[in-house]
A = this chain, B = another copy of it.
């Protein structure tokens, strides 16, 4: 196996953070930029979008930080105080589990959710043959 990766997939519900973190793309982007500015991650760029309600108010945000080690993507739903987080960190030969968990914990804490569903997905390349593997192409 040449490349190992850990992808943390999370849904955060009943978030009690300041509303601006759910509603404003610039505030969300600031959080994502901050948590990705740590040794072991290499941010290459970021792209965030502001959703606007019919009355002109900020209505949620979505975006991603592209990393040399893959990406962080966050989508907010202020209507239901919910957020989804994807943090996918990989590298040749290096085990990034500790850094992925640490960065995810910082993001999740910022949203102050009362309920969290957090799943971990291993993303090895090449992956080991297994009975459930499909073929294509």
Task: Name A's B-contacting residues (CB within 8 A).
Answer: 2-3, 5, 7, 9, 11-16, 44-49, 51, 62-64, 66-68, 70-71, 73, 75, 77, 79-80, 82, 84, 86, 88, 90, 108-109, 111-119, 121, 123-127, 129-130, 133-137
Question: Chain B nearest CB: distance from A109 CB in Å?
Answer: 7
Contacts of A9 in B (CB 8 A): 7, 9, 121, 123
* With contact pairs A66-B64, A136-B109 given, residues A47 and B49 touching in the complex (Cβ less than 8 Å): no
Interface of A is mostly: strand
* With contact pairs A66-B63, A71-B64 given, residues A80 and B125 touching in the complex (Cβ less than 8 Å): yes
* With contact pairs A71-B73, A88-B73 given, residues A126 and B62 touching in the complex (Cβ less than 8 Å): no
* With contact pairs A46-B47, A47-B66, A70-B75 given, residues A117 and B109 touching in the complex (Cβ less than 8 Å): no
Contacts of A123 in B (CB 8 A): 9, 11, 84
**Once the chains bind, are B115 and A135 in contact (CB under 8 Å)?**
yes
The 3 nearest A-B residue pairs measured at CB: A112-B137, A47-B47, A116-B136
Contacts of A126 in B (CB 8 A): 13-14, 80, 82, 115
